[in-house]
């Protein structure tokens, strides 16, 4: 186990009927609120009206940043930061999933950043400056952004999607009400769960020795997601399923399973290029890439961890080691298929391989996968993995 710091101060309010606590929370920061949300699903679900009832009772001055895209854009961040300056915003309130929260983190910081925000904030990758306080209301179990200090922002003109980390970006309070995810579509529920699983697998498949605590927690959270995603798809308003998916999503990326390990995430680096070039759903991109990545790096060195993954997560028994590992990868693939996730790139609109070489170069350039990955990946590895995603695959 490597040395690490763990300091995650977000105040989690988990459960149903907690929103009455929101006014008191907002008031600790001030009356001027920037409400950030996405495509309007919070209006359909009734959450928007509930919020305004609370704002009105509470004499909040609310400014809105609406229409935040999945893979949130630097232009939206710019607009939000400007709104904060013009309206003396005291607190940023994202109501949505990871994209809305990520965008809000960038807005909260960029309120204090001048000049070109892409250059002066995103390209720095690490932010040490101040930020407005952030209070989140989560409506999608996926990214874990509600309890960490990272945001991922896209520049669609330059086709670049990059993460920025900063202590001040950590939300002060996050409201996690599983009933707010009842109305999430099957597709987004499955994609969100694929994102959770990816966060767990990116940390689990890692070369740092002696990290049993982290690995056991990762396995436990993976098993929880695999148990409850099918139930949430079948019964969208099953509280137990939604609650376990939500809490698993938060814990999957708050440091519990990643701290104490060094190394680089491979699939996220490759997926960020897919999203940047083709604006596909992040979790779906990860689901497509992960089994092919696993098959690509399976060798004598990585075999023990893949064998453990197959045995502990997929209950594969009685086969020799390599076949056990392969069956595990197949079961992951089949699980994603069974949850309705499109598992090839053509199914998400990527019909040709024309950009793969450039994307491979960029995946390596924008990350440390070529020297710090579980298995280092070079441009040709990335291209080969992208190519394997072009058609249905069998791993056994």
Binding interface with its own copies (CB under 8 A): 1-18, 209-213, 216-217, 219-221, 223-224, 227-228, 239-240, 243-244, 247-248, 251, 256, 259-260
Three-state DSSP state, 118: helix
Q: Which CB atom, from 14 or from 187, has the smaller least distance to its own copies?
A: 14
3-class DSSP state for residue 243? helix
Q: 42 and 48 in contact (C-beta within 8 Å)?
A: yes
| Secondary structure class of 96 (helix, strand, coil) | strand
- Residue with smaller CB distance to its own copies, 115 or 209: 209
- The answer to whether the CB of 374 falls within 8 A of the CB of 297 is yes
* Contact call for residues 141 and 99 (beta carbons, < 8 A): no
CB of 266 to its own copies, least distance (A): 24
Report the DSSP pairing between strands 173-176 and 135-138.
Answer: parallel
Alpha-carbon gap, residue 366 to 335, rounded angstroms: 30
**Residue among 14 and 182 whose Cβ is closer to its own copies:** 14
Report how far residue 344's alpha carbon sits from residue 132's, in angstroms, rounded to the nearest whole number: 41
Q: Name which of 55 and 228 has its Cβ closer to its own copies.
A: 228
CB of 224 to its own copies, least distance (A): 5
**Residue closer to its own copies, measured from CB, 44 or 227:** 227
Per the CB < 8 A criterion, the answer to whether 257 and 214 are in contact is yes
Rounded least distance, CB 298 to its own copies, Å = 24
* Burial class, 315, CB count within 10 angstroms (exposed 0-12 / middle 13-18 / buried 19+): exposed
**Residue 5 or 300 having the CB closest to its own copies:** 5
Neighbours of 133 (CB within 10 A): 19
Least distance between its own copies and beta carbon 46 (Å):
20
Q: Which is nearer to its own copies, 31 or 223 (CB)?
A: 223
Tokens of 134: 């952030």
Question: How far apart are CB 5 and its own copies at their closest, in Å?
Answer: 6
Among residues 30 and 220, whose Cβ is nearest to its own copies?
Answer: 220
Cβ 211 to its own copies shortest distance, Å: 8
- One DSSP character per residue, 305-346 reads HHHHHHHHHH---SS-HHHHHHHHHHHHHHHHHHTT---STG
Residue 76: CB minimum distance to its own copies, A: 30
Min CB(247)–its own copies separation in Å: 5
Q: How far is the CB of 228 from its own copies (least distance, A)?
A: 7
Is residue 211 exposed (0-12), middle (13-18) or buried (19+ Cβ within 10 Å)? buried
- CA angle in degrees (0–180, nearest 5) for 18-23-27: 135
Of 2 and 53, CB closest to its own copies: 2
Residue 182 exposed, middle or buried by CB count within 10 Å (0-12, 13-18, 19+):
middle
């Amino acid at each position: 186990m490597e040395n690490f710091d763990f300091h995650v101060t977000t105040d989690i309010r988990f459960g149903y009927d907690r929103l009455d606590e929101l006014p008191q929370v907002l008031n600790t920061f001030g009356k001027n609120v920037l409400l950030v949300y996405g495509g309007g699903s919070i209006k359909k679900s009734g959450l928007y009206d509930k919020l305004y009832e609370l704002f009105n009772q509470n004499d909040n001055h609310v400014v809105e940043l609406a229409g935040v895209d999945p893979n949130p854009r630097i232009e939206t961040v710019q607009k939000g930061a400007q709104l904060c300056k013009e309206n003396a915003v005291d607190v940023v309130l994202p109501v949505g999933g990871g994209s809305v929260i990520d965008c809000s983190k960038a807005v909260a910081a960029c309120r204090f950043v001048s000049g070109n925000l892409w250059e002066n904030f995103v390209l720095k990758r690490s932010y040490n400056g101040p930020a407005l306080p952030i209070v989140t209301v989560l409506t999608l179990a996926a990214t874990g952004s509600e309890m960490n200090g990272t945001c991922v922002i896209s520049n669609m003109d330059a086709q670049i999607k990059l993460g920025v980390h900063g202590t001040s970006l950590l939300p002060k309070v996050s409201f996690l009400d599983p009933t707010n995810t009842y109305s999430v579509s099957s597709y987004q529920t499955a994609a969100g769960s694929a994102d959770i699983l990816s966060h767990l697998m990116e940390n689990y498949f890692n070369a740092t020795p002696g990290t049993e605590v982290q690995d056991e927690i990762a396995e436990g959270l993976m098993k929880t997601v695999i148990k409850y995603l099918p139930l949430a798809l079948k019964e969208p308003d099953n509280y137990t399923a939604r609650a376990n998916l939500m809490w698993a999503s938060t814990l999957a990326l708050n440091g519990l399973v990643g701290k104490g390990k060094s190394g680089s995430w491979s699939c996220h680096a490759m997926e960020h290029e897919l999203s940047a070039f083709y604006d596909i759903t992040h979790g779906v991109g990860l689901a497509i890439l992960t089994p092919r990545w696993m098959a690509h790096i399976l060798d004598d060195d990585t075999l023990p961890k893949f064998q453990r993954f197959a045995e502990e997560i997929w209950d594969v028994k009685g086969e020799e080691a390599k076949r056990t590992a392969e069956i595990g990868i197949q079961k992951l693939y089949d699980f994603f298929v069974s949850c309705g996730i499109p598992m090839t790139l053509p199914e998400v609109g990527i019909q040709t391989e024309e950009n793969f070489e450039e994307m491979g170069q960029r995946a390596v350039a924008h990350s440390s996968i070529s020297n710090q990955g579980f298995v280092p990946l070079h441009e040709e590895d990335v291209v080969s993995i992208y190519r394997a995603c072009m058609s249905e695959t069998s791993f056994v």
